[in-house]
Amino acid sequence: MGEEEPRIGVFICHCGVNIGGVVNVPEVVKYAKTLPNVAHAEDNIYTCSEAGLASIKEAIKKRKLNRVIVASCTPRTHEPLFRSACSEAKLNHYLFEMANIREQCSWVHAHQLEKATKKAKDIVRMAVARATWLEPQEEPELEIKDNALVIGGGISGMTAALTLADQGFKVYLVEKEPELGGNLRRLHKLYPTMQDTLEILEPTIKAVSANKKIETLVSTTVSDVKGYVGNFKVTLAKNGEKREIEIGTIIVACGAMNYTPPKGLYQYGVYPNVVTQLEMDELLRNGKIEKPPERVIMIQCVGARKGEIRAVDLTGFPKSDTARLLAKILKAKREEGWPYCSKICCMNAIKNAILIKEKFPETDVIILYGDVRVYKEYEDFYSEARENQVKFVKHIEEVTPEITQEPEGKLTVTAYDALSGLEMKLPCDWVVLSTPLIPRKEEVILARMLKIPISQDGFLMEAHLKLRPVDTQMDGIFLAGAASGPKDVPESIISAKAAAARASILMANKKMRTEALTSFVDEEQCIGCGLCEEICSYGAHYLEDAKSHTIAALCRGCGACAAECPRRAITMQHFTDAQILAQVKAALTEEV
């Protein structure tokens, strides 16, 4: 095709009145016919209709078109449709070009009819200039191995492994600890059903060990990851022994860990009866609280919602106390901690409060909170706690409660009631700190090996926070459970199943087509400086024999390497310098 004279067909869409009501479409058609290499131009009421698509296919055949341009709306929504029409008429779909004269013209210039028509001509002229230089491209097909690696043997990792194994895929389940179970091992009971954690954990572990498709590797870590979607080469390490496996997809279920306050914060580590909520779980589970306490005080958001300086909003505070409180608040030392809300701590505190009340009905349990974030149906769980006489007190969060020890070993918590503004001195036997789930330290190393970015909150980052919550920016790598942020058990299970669903698509199809829009190195020009390898965020470039090479499957087509290359040895396929320069030149040329 490269040698052939370009014969461009231009299809200009009225889009009902969307474009036709503003742009003089017949005039643009007439203009398009005068442009170099344009062999055919026509207008359609709706180019995307069956009739419109049929006329593209017909024109490709009858007018021997070897380039097609549709001037209409956005490629985001309609390019696939027009590309497939070209393919059906045996025209390589990379020889299709779209000119957006709706969003970028008629919609924004709805009241400037003449100027809009002129701009539509400019846009079409630019598209024609670029189309002249288009070349056919092939989308390479990749083989996908139909086995998976799940990193992390907590409830999320085990669920993901079982979900995949049940569909017939071989799974390697890697856990760094000597046994499966993760965080749930330390928990006593689960809200809101109050089931014993073991009731859920044990059957799951049994199912994993009984499943022949799952190879469980405990006391094992991932020490290296190479390759790309469908063809990862992963090195696993166990007691210094290394083993390499080849797998198709990876699910990261490395979980999160409970934040332990630094010694001295809320007197944690100073007084033995100041514990974290997770430690309280363990104490309750092991029956370590034998003597009925007179009072237990739980403090929410210890180390959570703290990393940033929160705005001190005094609008609501009682006028009489404001001045006194403001002085105190401004003096208050900023607590160490994490900026986000960990989401599960309110429910966890309520759960332990109910458990304490069940065991010791006479014990006074007070929860000091900023907001009670018991979302979902957990509201009913919160009501249950209040019916059980658990007391909830909104305190002024900006002032860190002070904890002092009385001579006989009791503690006193000093805090401010947000509703009355008054100081409260509350003697108690236990202070329980609700601390957030935070990212694991290993996560950073994993993220680097897997080339997944980390979000601002320190957890692994999704491909899109809203629309692709279990995908990562790396094809073939997915996120399950608390690796991407705090989650409770049902949320972890749902995300694990979702990650398994996404991974199974690749493995069930056994192959995938990758984008043709990748970087291409001209070895003649390449001086092997390695700048491209350095700048590539995806590890798509490597040097061999002093020349750069591209791993097409890893390349995302961002073009950073092409911009960086001092010898212009790198070309972005489908976005070549010639194509872009022709388009720029056309933009700067006046209408002819």
Partner 1 sequence: MAEKTVLIIGGGVSGIQASLDLASRGYKVYLVEKSPSIGGRMAQLDKTFPTLDCSMCILAPKMIDCSHHANVQLLTYSEVKRVKGSRGNFLVTVLRKPRFVDETKCTGCGICADHCPVEVPNEFDEQLGMRKAIYMPFPQAVPRSMTVDKANCIECGLCQKMCQAGAVDLKQEPKEVELNVGAVIVSIGFDLFDPTQIPTYGYGRYRNLITSLELERLLCASGPTGGHLIRPSDGKIPRKIAFIQCVGSRDRRFGTTYCSSICCKYSVKDAVLIREHEPNTMVTIFYIDLRAFGKGFQEFVNRAKSEYGVRFVRSSPGEIMEDPVTKNLAIWYEDTVAGRIESTEFDLVVLCPALVPRADARELAKVLGAEVDSYGFFKAADILTNPVDTTVPGIFACGYCLGPKTGDIPDSIMQGSATAARVAEVLERV
Which 393-432 positions form the footprint of partner 1 (CB under 8 A)?
394, 418-420
Q: What is the largest CA-CA distance in the chain?
A: 99
Burial 101-129 (b: 16+ CB within 10 A, else e): bbeebbbebeeeeeebbbbbbbbbbbbbb
With CB under 8 A as the contact rule, which of the stretches 40-48, 225-233, 258-266, 549-557 interacts with partner 1?
40-48
Minimum distance of partner 1 from residue 509's CB (angstroms):
7
Nearer to partner 1, 347 or 582 (CB): 347
Residue of 134, 96, 97, 138 lying closest to 578 (CA atoms)? 134
Among 371, 402, 534, 577, binds partner 1 (CB under 8 A): 371
The number of angstroms, rounded, from the C-alpha of 73 to the middle of its chain's C-alpha atoms is: 29
207 binds partner 1 (CB under 8 A): no
With CB under 8 A as the contact rule, which of the stretches 92-100, 274-282, 314-322, 516-524 interacts with partner 1?
314-322
108 binds partner 1 (CB under 8 A): no
Minimum distance of partner 1 from residue 542's CB (angstroms):
31
Q: Are strands 256-258 and 437-439 parallel, antiparallel or unpaired?
A: antiparallel
Among 147, 163, 352, 472, binds partner 1 (CB under 8 A): 163
Minimum distance of partner 1 from residue 45's CB (angstroms):
6
Distance CA 9, CA 41 (A): 6
Among 202, 244, 380, 577, binds partner 1 (CB under 8 A): 380
Please report, as residue ranges, which positions from 529 to 588 form the binding site for partner 1 (by CB under 8 A): none
Consecutive H or E run containing 428: strand 423-428
Distance CA 123, CA 97 (A): 12
Nearer to partner 1, 242 or 375 (CB): 375
The site for partner 1, by CB under 8 A, has a size of 85
With CB under 8 A as the contact rule, which of the stretches 257-265, 277-285, 317-325, 399-407 interacts with partner 1?
317-325
Burial 446-455 (b: 16+ CB within 10 A, else e): bbebbbbeee
DSSP per-residue codes, 232-272: EEEEEEETTEEEEEEESEEEE---EEE--PPTTGGGBTTBT
Please report, as residue ranges, which positions from 499 to 518 form the binding site for partner 1 (by CB under 8 A): 499-502, 504-505, 508-509
374 binds partner 1 (CB under 8 A): yes
Give the number of other Cβ atoms within 10 Å of residue 380's Cβ. Answer: 10
Residue in the structure block whose two tokens are 């390479």: 140
189 binds partner 1 (CB under 8 A): no
Among 40, 295, 305, 541, binds partner 1 (CB under 8 A): 305
Minimum distance of partner 1 from residue 286's CB (angstroms):
23
What residue type is assigned to position 253 of the chain?
A
Torsion on CA atoms 590, 95, 513, 72, rounded to nearest 10: 60
Among 209, 383, 404, 537, binds partner 1 (CB under 8 A): 383
Please report, as residue ranges, which positions from 72 to 101 form the binding site for partner 1 (by CB under 8 A): 76-78, 80-81
Distance CA 53, CA 327 (A): 71
Q: Are 529 and 167 in contact (CB under 8 A)?
A: no
Distance CA 344, CA 459 (A): 16
Give the number of other Cβ atoms within 10 Å of residue 538's Cβ. Answer: 18
Q: Phi and psi at residue 417, in whole multiples of 5°?
A: -70, 120
50 binds partner 1 (CB under 8 A): yes
Minimum distance of partner 1 from residue 591's CB (angstroms):
29
Minimum distance of partner 1 from residue 38's CB (angstroms):
25
Nearer to partner 1, 46 or 520 (CB): 46
Among 264, 287, 316, 566, binds partner 1 (CB under 8 A): 316
Minimum distance of partner 1 from residue 258's CB (angstroms):
17
Nearer to partner 1, 52 or 261 (CB): 52
Among 121, 343, 395, 451, binds partner 1 (CB under 8 A): 343
Nearer to partner 1, 325 or 572 (CB): 325
Nearer to partner 1, 491 or 522 (CB): 491
From residue 168 to residue 187, the character string flagging contacts with partner 1 as x (rule: CB under 8 A) and all else as - is x-------------------
Among 33, 34, 36, 49, binds partner 1 (CB under 8 A): 49
Residue in the structure block whose two tokens are 């070209």: 86
Distance CA 491, CA 472 (A): 18
Nearer to partner 1, 103 or 533 (CB): 103
What percent helix, strand, coil does the chain show, rounded to 5?
35, 25, 40
Minimum distance of partner 1 from residue 331's CB (angstroms):
20
317 binds partner 1 (CB under 8 A): yes
Q: Are strands 249-252 and 411-416 parallel, antiparallel or unpaired?
A: unpaired
Minimum distance of partner 1 from residue 159's CB (angstroms):
9
Angle between helices 489-509 and 155-166 (to 10 degrees): 40
Among 495, 518, 519, 573, binds partner 1 (CB under 8 A): 495
With CB under 8 A as the contact rule, which of the stretches 162-170, 241-249, 353-361, 443-451 interacts with partner 1?
162-170
Q: Which tokens belong to 247?
A: 């797998």
DSSP per-residue codes, 297-340: EEES-TTSS-SSPPP---TTS-HHHHHHHHHHHHHSPPPP--SS
Minimum distance of partner 1 from residue 73's CB (angstroms):
10
Please report, as residue ranges, which positions from 438 to 467 form the binding site for partner 1 (by CB under 8 A): 455-457, 459, 462, 464-467
Distance CA 443, CA 418 (A): 38
Residue in the structure block whose two tokens are 């309609």: 78
Residue of 193, 194, 364, 188 lying closest to 283 (CA atoms)? 188
Minimum distance of partner 1 from residue 240's CB (angstroms):
36
With CB under 8 A as the contact rule, which of the stretches 159-167, 181-189, 213-221, 556-564 interacts with partner 1?
159-167
Distance CA 476, CA 499 (A): 10
389 dihedral zone (left: phi>0; alpha: psi -120 to 50; beta)? left
Nearer to partner 1, 38 or 105 (CB): 105
Please report, as residue ranges, which positions from 470 to 489 form the binding site for partner 1 (by CB under 8 A): 470, 484-485, 489
With CB under 8 A as the contact rule, which of the stretches 49-57, 116-124, 250-258, 406-414 interacts with partner 1?
49-57
339 binds partner 1 (CB under 8 A): yes
